[in-house]
Structure 1
Amino acid sequence: MYIYKWPADKQNGTGIVTQHSECEVQGGGISSYAGKHGGAAKSLEWCMKHALKEIPTSRQHQTPLCLGATAGMRLLNIVNQTESERVLQEVEKKLRSYPFLFKGASILSGQAEGAYGWVTVNYLLENFVKVEP
């Protein structure tokens, strides 16, 4: 899990995004809990408690929260779509129980995962920063 922050004192609430903190989810990815009811949701608790501590209470209700599942869930969806949907529903129910602005849980395509990764890395490396002469 990654927590980002940005100043909202610019026009339209924009500003430079920085990574504030991160948390490694305990256990395997959510796909590893196929057939283990409750396991995927429970695996997120440690990091969600971390988020509750890191994000000020006054900001939690406006802090977007989303989960983008990757390769393991893509594979599970191919071999057992019913179980894949059950795991996503379990995770979604858990994430909705927190005070954040839940935006959804979905399986990212390989192309979307790659694009998000590319944009994130290049943004954090400041490869998109416009330098004035």
Structure 2
Amino acid sequence: MYGVVLDAGSSHTALYIYRWPADKLNGTGVVTQHSECHVKGGGISSYAGQWGAAARSLEVCLKQAMRDIPPDKHHRTPVYLGATAGMRLLKITNPDKASQILQEVKQKIKSFPFNFRGAVILSGQEEGV
């Protein structure tokens, strides 16, 4: 099994692919990091006012995930994006732009054959977990 997490930080975004055995022992399994990809450019909040740029910035790493995860596993691979400080600040200063960026990245991720589970702005407490 595989899972993808996009960590959309204030200064950059990174995509992490995790892997774990399908069979679990006592309901648990060992999760390992399979690969990672660092998105070129700034964090997604840095694209405020540049229609589509935040979404386009994710393409290279999402395509890398397509290569790193076996094709027969794509549709079962959950993908999550968690945005942190940069997007929290943008949500305070310009909620419309923050919402637009989230919508753009959601649509971009949904255009790939993974099991998209959501893109959210994490609170400071959630980020620390």
TM-score (norm 1): 0.83
Distance in 1 between the 2:28 and 2:77 partners?
14
Q: Which residue of 2 aligns with 1:54?
A: 68
Amino acid at match of 1:49: K
Amino acid at match of 2:89: L
Q: Where is the helix percentage greater, Structure 1 or Structure 2?
A: 1
Identity %: 63
Listed as ranges, the gaps of 5+ residues in structure 1 are 116-133
Map 1:77-88 onto structure 2 (within 5 A). Answer: 77-88=91-102
Amino acid at match of 1:69: A
Q: Does the CA contact (< 8 Å) of 1:62 and 1:101 recur in 2?
A: yes
TM-score (norm 2): 0.86
Give secondary structure in 2 for the equivalent of 1:67: strand
Q: Which structure: larger Rg?
A: 1
Amino acid at match of 1:104: G
Task: Name the structure, 1 or 2, with higher relative contact order (CA <8 Å, separation 6+).
Answer: 2
Listed as ranges, the gaps of 5+ residues in structure 2 are 1-14
Map 1:7-22 onto structure 2 (within 5 A). Answer: 7-10=21-24, 14-22=28-36
Amino acid at match of 1:78: I
Moved runs in structure 1, 4+ residues, more than 3 A? 11-14
Distance in 1 between the 2:114 and 2:25 partners?
24
Query: Cα gap change, 1:95/1:12 in structure 2, threshold over 3 Å: closer, same or farther?
Result: farther
Q: Does the CA contact (< 8 Å) of 1:6 and 1:14 recur in 2?
A: no
Which of the numbers 73, 92, 100 marks the counterpart of 2:114?
Answer: 100
Deviation readout 1:49-82 (Å, 9 max, x if unpaired): 1100000000000000010001000000000000
Over the residues paired in the alignment, what is the CA RMSD in angstroms? 1.2
Q: Does the CA contact (< 8 Å) of 1:8 and 1:14 recur in 2?
A: no
